[in-house]
Amino acid sequence: MPILAIDSLTLTLQDKLLVKNLTVNINEGQRWGLLGKNGVGKTTLLHSILGIITANSGEIKFRGKNILDISRQELAKNLGILFQEGISTLPATVLETVLLGRHPHVQTLLRDDPQDVAIALDALKELELVDLAHRQVDSLSGGERQRLGLAMLFAQMPAFFLLDEPNNHLDIAYQVKLLETLNDRLNQSTENRSSQGSGVGKASLLMATHDINLASRFCDNIILLMGNGEWISGTNIEILSSENLSKSYDCSIEMIESGKNRWFYPT
């Protein structure tokens, strides 16, 4: 059974057709990229998977169950999102912010469970933010804040990661680092985390990005939104071609191959 099954999903936003009859099955451990030009509906699709936007028709199933029949808390234990806007800059320390990621799992009423704090600190370590744990969030740089958003998501420990432009505000070194960190996190298998109750098996990921090369390097499968409700999906190799991309982005895009990697650039 796929971990996430999108079945004949149709989404419109203020009468604009975004996707029509989208059907995609995402299996455990897979990394999917979601590409398409600005305003084509990537963010709306991610939000609909989270159930915070209702689709016009079709359904989305998480582990075989319609997400609209799953309680918000149960869903949040399993699906986590990194929002495109990043985290807000309300006065709070870095550690307090990461701890919010534990919200769906929290068992204690008032005091912070030491185990939750430990998980939050681990997430900060993974994102190299642990030295800033007691800093105020509004004193962080854009890149640090973006990593903090990711640390919050790591602390949430979802089985399915939804990322909306994860490399926003990140310099090239941190973009690479981000991929490695995500890689490590997705490869951590059940034995570490099944005890947390966030399910069994490897985590999966769906990442909306406008960086084609990032998706090409990191994702094994791609959903490419073409506009006007059209879409294509399949493996990285099938979908990412200069023909498909040129059509999707309405701009001539060429490809060069170097070793195992393929690079795309506009001409």
Give least dist CB 52 to another protein, A: 5
Nearer to another protein, 43 or 233 (CB): 43
Return the closest-CA partner of residue 2 out of 32, 35, 24.
24
Residue 128 vs residues 145, 151, 182, 244: alpha-carbon distances, Å? 12, 9, 13, 37
Within positions 228 to 267, which residues make up the interface with another protein, using CB under 8 A?
Answer: none
Nearer to another protein, 59 or 96 (CB): 96
Among the candidate windows 9-17, 85-93, 220-228, 235-243, which touches another protein by CB under 8 A?
85-93
Q: Residue written as tokens 């981000």?
A: 178
Q: Indicate which single residue of 81, 119, 159, 182 sits in contact with another protein (rule: CB under 8 A).
A: 81
- The answer to whether residue 92 forms part of the interface with another protein (CB under 8 A) is yes
Nearer to another protein, 62 or 249 (CB): 62
DSSP-H helix ranges across the chain = 42-49, 72-78, 94-100, 114-126, 142-156, 172-187, 190-193, 212-218, 236-239, 242-249
- The answer to whether residue 70 forms part of the interface with another protein (CB under 8 A) is no
DSSP H or E stretch at residue 233 = strand 230-235
- The answer to whether residue 8 forms part of the interface with another protein (CB under 8 A) is no
Nearer to another protein, 1 or 90 (CB): 90
Within positions 94 to 113, which residues make up the interface with another protein, using CB under 8 A?
Answer: 96, 100-101, 103-104, 106, 109-110
Among the candidate windows 29-37, 50-58, 239-247, 250-258, which touches another protein by CB under 8 A?
50-58
Give least dist CB 38 to another protein, A: 20
User: What is the C-alpha radius of gyration for the chain, rounded to an integer number of angstroms?
Assistant: 18
Distance CA 87, CA 151 (A): 11
Q: In this structure, is the dihedral angle defined by the CA atoms of residues 43, 71, 119 and 141, taken in order, positive or negative?
A: positive
Taking the CA atoms of residue 159, residue 38, residue 141 and residue 123 in that order, the dihedral angle to the nearest 10 degrees is: 0
Q: Residue written as tokens 């791609």?
A: 222
Within positions 123 to 182, which residues make up the interface with another protein, using CB under 8 A?
Answer: 134, 156
- Site for another protein, rule CB under 8 A: 47, 50-52, 71-77, 80-81, 83, 87-88, 90-93, 96, 100-101, 103-104, 106, 109-110, 134, 156
